[in-house]
Structure 1
Amino acid sequence: MNFTFEPAAGLRDVTLRDGLQLTGKLLPTERKVETVRELLRLGVPEIELGSMARADLVPPMANTLEVVQALSPEELQKCWIWVATPGHVAKAAAAGARNFQYCLSASESHNQANIGRSTEASLAALPQAVRYAQEAGGRIQLCIATSFTCPFEGIVPEERVLAIANDPRTGGTCDIVICDTLGQAVPAQVSGLIRRVRDESPERRIVYHGHDTWGLGVANTLAAISAGASAVDGALGGLGGCPFAPGASGNTATEDILFATRPDWLTPETFAGLVNVSEKLLAELGEPNRSKAAQGSRSKAEAFDWVIASDTVPACEGSL
């Protein structure tokens, strides 16, 4: 019997930024660098390595610039860093970063809670951030948080997201990231908004960032891909959440997205390696593994190629 899978989109693993935000633990720089290199070696196309958020507010991000400085220019070409101001871009660029994700919220209340300023102020500062990124020879994304719902305001109108996407001050951004920050959207909402962004705003790569709070993370991701998203975000083991968004839980699991989409680079062996990387990291952090695919890979149904045989050492064991 032949099976048809959703068209594969590029996967960006956001474990080291969105994934770590709610853990409360600062993972050592060396361990973060090792994780970046393990993921790249296994074939993950893009990684979000950290954030320029204030360390007193988001302690797990305190050593982000040290991680940037430890990576090679070639590795940094595949890595993104979360920024919210032109100053963030300048500091990150000075450390060696070249790919920047400039984030603001569609809802005013969340932008104030998350970034400490109005959405309008964030938009007004974006052109300068774009200039700094371009002067560094880099790229910058427009990331719109709370694109579907806000923890303080409820449903966010699609027209609000489209107004931001079409604001002339967003010119120069290479991608647009549409975020289901709270994981409260359903597939019809996701496909509808992604399709409108594709059809009614400037041509850019569309990235979908989803959370699995209500159990629809994979379904929403597949809906986004079908509607035109060419890249999607996930975190190992479903780790993550926003510290400034009450009700937000973990990201859609990287393992679940990859198992569902089966990109060309993913094999049962590389999948086993990813599961191993995930399990080791989650154990260090004292966090549960929320990935259903990872749990399935440890089942006893060993006739299925994607199950990790009990006598098999995962591909990344002993690496680095």
Structure 2
Amino acid sequence: MSTVELRDVTLRDGLQLVGRAPSTARKVEIVRALLALGVPSLEIGSMARGDLVPTLADTLEVVDALTPEELRRCWVWVATPGHVRRAAERGVVNFQYCLSVSDAHNRANLGRSTEQSLDTVPDGIAAAGTGRIQLCLATSFTCPFDGPVDPDEVIRIADDPRTAGTQDVVVCDTLGQATPVEVGSLISRVRTETPERRIGFHGHDTWGQGVANAHAAVAAGAGFVDATLGGLGGCPFAPGASGNTATEDLVFGLRPDWLTPQTFAELVQLSESVLAELGEPGGSKAAQGARSTAGAFPWTLSPRP
């Protein structure tokens, strides 16, 4: 069993590029189904402008439908102190404060420079009050506009005094172009060269390295990894970014203590239903394996011989 935490981000990153979104009520059902299975934390939406990311425009309505206990296990994407304040007023207590290491991507995604975003972080921390706020560093490895990102720049931002007070730092392979060696090296540097915080890894599977990269991050000291049902997702402001690493693939390999063959089967079935509702193809190898006829293997959904 693994002690690393998996955070399912289907309802935020997973929905950014789909053609249609589940209803608010269905999103709430998905939240509760994942929490009931034992998934320790979820990202359930974004405070980005609804006209820019329409599939996430009802984030605060989803928040309103959840209980305080459920919200303690849920995260919301934010990028300004105003985002934090509006989300906190509705009961959000966990905030993922995002900026890009690459200045070009930060301008495309947030309309300002990376330094301007960094200047807002202290006010964002203050607005979170007693809530938990994490520093999310998009394009930590490559940028769709400028190419490879200097690891020293990631370290500089993670070590910047303006980020003091964030409890976590999330290192993001936004384009899915990193390799396991690169991921392990950068996570290790963040762990040893920046203030002590819980480290997360957010990976994409664009180049087929999502699972390997997540395992490399865990081996280097990451305390949690992000994933989505069926590998849904991508960034609308990063050309070339495709789906995330699949939740089914990561939990099958990591074997968190909440996972059993029964909960895995229910997770696969939930993923399949969500993908069918969205009209999206599934990208999980573990989900495909679970549908094999190898009934003697306890992790398949086939009847036992």
TM-score > 0.5, shorter chain as reference: yes
Structure 1 residue 164 corresponds to structure 2 residue 173: no
Structure-to-structure mapping, 1:199-218, within 5 angstroms = 199-218=192-211
What is the match of residue 250 of structure 1?
A: 243
CA contact (8 A) 2:21 2:278 kept: no
Tell which deviates more after alignment, 80-89 or 302-311: 302-311
Identity %: 66
* Local SS of the residue matching 1:15: coil
Q: CA deviation at 1:24?
A: 2.9
Q: CA deviation at 1:310?
A: 5.1
Between the aligned partners of 2:303 and 2:271, the Cα distance in structure 1 is 17
What is the aligned counterpart of 1:236 among 206, 229, 237? Answer: 229
What is the identity, as a one-letter code, of the residue corresponding to 2:79? Answer: A
CA contact (8 A) 1:24 1:59 kept: no
What is the identity, as a one-letter code, of the residue corresponding to 1:30? Answer: A
What is the match of residue 186 of structure 2?
A: 193
CA contact (8 A) 1:104 1:144 kept: yes
Between the aligned partners of 1:14 and 1:239, the Cα distance in structure 2 is 9
Q: CA deviation at 1:44?
A: 0.1
Q: CA deviation at 1:264?
A: 1.1
What is the match of residue 89 of structure 2?
A: 94
Between the aligned partners of 1:105 and 1:25, the Cα distance in structure 2 is 27
What is the identity, as a one-letter code, of the residue corresponding to 1:240? Answer: G
Structure 2: which 5+ residue stretches go unaligned? none
Structure 1: which 5+ residue stretches go unaligned? 312-320
Residues 104-147 of structure 1 show CA distances to partners (whole Å, capped at 9, x for unaligned) of: 0000000001111110111000100000102xx21100000000
Structure 1 residue 272 corresponds to structure 2 residue 265: yes
Between the aligned partners of 1:17 and 1:231, the Cα distance in structure 2 is 17
What is the match of residue 76 of structure 1?
A: 71
Between the aligned partners of 2:245 and 2:187, the Cα distance in structure 1 is 17
What is the match of residue 27 of structure 1?
A: 22
Structure 1 residue 106 corresponds to structure 2 residue 101: yes
CA contact (8 A) 1:79 1:99 kept: yes
What is the match of residue 146 of structure 2?
A: 153
CA contact (8 A) 1:26 1:62 kept: no
What is the aligned counterpart of 2:255 among 256, 262, 266? Answer: 262
TM-score (norm 1): 0.94
Q: CA deviation at 1:26?
A: 2.9
Between the aligned partners of 2:302 and 2:288, the Cα distance in structure 1 is 13
Between the aligned partners of 1:265 and 1:147, the Cα distance in structure 2 is 30
TM-score (norm 2): 0.98
What is the match of residue 292 of structure 2?
A: 299
Q: CA deviation at 1:8?
A: 3.9
What is the match of residue 126 of structure 1?
A: 121
Q: Runs (4+) of structure 1 moved beyond 2 Å? A: none
Between the aligned partners of 1:8 and 1:218, the Cα distance in structure 2 is 17
Residues 238-289 of structure 1 show CA distances to partners (whole Å, capped at 9, x for unaligned) of: 0000000000010000000000100111000000010011000000000001
CA contact (8 A) 1:13 1:46 kept: yes
CA contact (8 A) 2:19 2:278 kept: no
What is the identity, as a one-letter code, of the residue corresponding to 2:42? Answer: I
What is the match of residue 317 of structure 1?
A: none
What is the identity, as a one-letter code, of the residue corresponding to 2:298? Answer: D
* Local SS of the residue matching 2:166: coil
